[in-house]
Amino acid sequence: MKIICVGRNYLSHIRELNNKKNNSPVIFLKPETSIIQKNQPFFIPDFSNEIHHEVELIVKINKLGKSISPKFSHKYYDEISLGIDFTARDLQNNLKLNSLPWEKCKSFDGSALIGKWVNKDNFNDINDINFQLTKNDKIIQKGNSSEMIWNIDELISEISRFFTLKIGDIIFTGTPKGVGKVNIDDFLLGSIEGEQLFSIKIK
């Protein structure tokens, strides 16, 4: 099982970090060891002083696929959820300055939170889903899948050009604006259309 992440898929977040809009999705991977186990907290690692939350809609692949046409992408997933791509922003900024890969800041142990899975048929339109993240009962990130530069089906098609998708693979589809630092004792809660899909304590 692999975790495939998409960066810079919301214009609001691109502007927030003063990044450039790409002509194709930014794609990177997280290893299986990045997944936070059920009911476990997020532990701030000792190599970063600036861990940021990035809440994202996520998709679970349900069958083998390669070079998938966008018009058939919907057949490759039945479930969606909400997750957090925890990012060591101080490391990332340094890596970007030196044109180095992002794995140290994005793919470290415990950097991927995966919420409860729900059937995509629960939603009238997969391209019009509201989601949000609260920290200590205050909304800090909110978005809608209609704001994506590349929608879910387009992402599945693009990713499958480069990586064979296998059953159980997870795609993180990008984060909207509002990313920010987490601190010890923060409590994060994520929801889609008002349904809570995860909660986590920061340690």
At 77-108, the pLDDT tens digits run: 999 999 999 999 999 999 999 999 999 999 99
Domain total in the chain: 1
Q: Is the pLDDT of residue 18 over 80?
A: no
Q: Is the pLDDT of residue 21 over 90?
A: no
d(CA 2, CA 171): 9
Q: Is the pLDDT of residue 1 over 90?
A: yes
Q: Is the pLDDT of residue 22 over 80?
A: no
pLDDT bin (cut points 50, 70, 90) of residue 41 is very high
CATH number at residue 89: 3.90.850.10
Q: Whole domain around residue 182: which residue ranges?
A: 3-201
**Positions of E strands within 31-93:** 51-53, 55-61, 77-85, 87-88
* Cα separation values, 96 from 58, 125, 129, Å: 25, 36, 32
The tokens 């939603």 sit on which residue?
Answer: 123
d(CA 25, CA 125): 22
> 147-200 pLDDT, tens per residue?
999 999 999 999 999 999 999 999 999 999 999 999 999 999 999 999 999 999
